[in-house]
Structure 1
Amino acid sequence: MNTQNLILKGGLLFLAAVLSVSAQTRSDYTTSYTRSTYGAVAGDKELTLGGSGISNKDFNNSSGGVNASLGYYFTDTLEGTIRQSVSYANPEGSGGADWSGSTFVALDQHLFARGALRPFLGINFGGFYGDNVSDTLAAGLEAGAKFYVQPKTFLFALVDYAWVFHNSHQASENFDNGAFQWTVGIGVNF
């Protein structure tokens, strides 16, 4: 038996098993959710994942990034979060890849306690670092929205205006030299 045939049969067997378990599980219970039960409550945790990328047809001029966050709801609407992002760039003719990252803590206030749409405003503090990035502190203001597609699963968009500084004196002076960052992705509450 060749490898391709074995992989095909294994995949079909796996699909049949998943569909069988799914059908059994679905018939065992039914839960009714209303839009008012969508979203996190005090004590819930939250995990988000997002990413992006772009490349030319030869894959020799590309960039991309991935980000993740872990949050905790202090109340039904106040969330503390730690966010990590890693970015990669391989500009044509540069002779190699550049890696950079950022780590931030944030405090977000959601405007509604329940419902499928949960806009929020927040503040953050952290730092940037990497190959061609000056390691520096940064602070920012942020706004975003979560759209719950299931009671504990959502799509999100986040826009952040961050400015960098090396000491507290520069923090107020560098506000006008900030930059926007954006993130889109998926998240779950648990």
Structure 2
Amino acid sequence: MNTIKKFSIALCASAIMIPAYSQAQGMHSQDFGPKVGDREFTLSGAGTSSKDFDNGTFGVSGDVGWFLSNQTVAGIRQSVNYASVENGDDAWNGSTRGYVDYHFGQHQARPFVGASLGGIYGDGVKNTGVAGLELGLKYYVLPSTFILARAEYQFLFDSGDSAEDNFDNGAWAYVLGMGFNY
């Protein structure tokens, strides 16, 4: 069995065991998650590579948020991305965005929807505004620690008119990470 298949099987087995571990520890869903006034920190990553590892990208995103209610968090997100191109110039870029997310439910698995607004800057990109809609899932593995999966539909703009024009030309950004409430 190749390495990717072994890794996939191990990842799936781990994901299946998380709820079983939580139940064995006597944790109940009402013990999980934030309360009004709590803060949140997340760290996520994403990356790609060619099969020969000649070209690749890597990105890191960090969020700091404050819970305005048990379901609503508002905060700031910083992303940094790096692209390595064989026979080309390597490039760095980043974005800083404010965001608001609304979470559904009070259990260990908490889906959410939200929006973000900010700016993008760096090598190979035009310094401009960026806005987006997002959806995701937080799964609490401990009372204040969770695994995060998020997809953002982002579009660039220079003005209100260009935001309306560019919405249909957006792109999806995906992250997987971990976070905790404090």
TM category, shorter = 0.7 to 0.9
Point out where structure 1 has 5 or more consecutive residues left out of the alignment. Answer: 1-30
Aligned to 2:114: 122
Counterparts of 1:24-35 in structure 2 under 5 Å? 33-35=27-29
- The Cα of 1:56 is off from its aligned counterpart by 5.2
User: What CA distance in whole angstroms lies between the structure 2 residues aligned with 1:148 and 1:159?
Assistant: 18
Where 1:79 maps in the other structure, the secondary structure is: strand
Counterparts of 1:142-157 in structure 2 under 5 Å? 142-157=134-149
- The Cα of 1:138 is off from its aligned counterpart by 1.3
Aligned to 1:107: 100
Aligned to 1:185: 177
The structure-2 alpha-carbon separation of the partners of 1:54 and 1:181, relative to structure 1 and needing over 3 Å to count, comes to closer
Identical counterparts, % of pairs: 41
Aligned to 1:137: 129
- The Cα of 1:32 is off from its aligned counterpart by 5.7
The structure-2 alpha-carbon separation of the partners of 1:63 and 1:41, relative to structure 1 and needing over 3 Å to count, comes to same
Verify the 8 A CA contact 2:46 2:174 in the aligned structure 1: no
Aligned to 1:174: 166
Where 2:95 maps in the other structure, the secondary structure is: strand
Provide Cα deviations, 1:79-137, integer angstroms capped at 9, x if missing partner. 1021111010111110x32001111111111111x210111111110111111001110
Aligned to 1:22: none
- The Cα of 1:61 is off from its aligned counterpart by 2.3
What TM-score results when the alignment is normalised by the length of structure 1? Answer: 0.78
Counterparts of 1:72-91 in structure 2 under 5 Å? 72-91=66-85
User: What CA distance in whole angstroms lies between the structure 2 residues aligned with 1:133 and 1:173?
Assistant: 18
What TM-score results when the alignment is normalised by the length of structure 2? Answer: 0.81
- The Cα of 1:167 is off from its aligned counterpart by 0.8
Residue identity in the other structure for 2:86: E
Picking from 57, 61, 68, the partner of 1:63 is 57
User: What CA distance in whole angstroms lies between the structure 1 residues aligned with 2:179 and 2:172?
Assistant: 22
- The Cα of 1:64 is off from its aligned counterpart by 0.7
Point out where structure 2 has 5 or more consecutive residues left out of the alignment. Answer: 1-24
Aligned to 1:97: 90
Aligned to 2:12: none
- The Cα of 1:59 is off from its aligned counterpart by 5.2
RMSD between aligned residues: 1.6
Aligned residues: 158
- The Cα of 1:62 is off from its aligned counterpart by 2.4
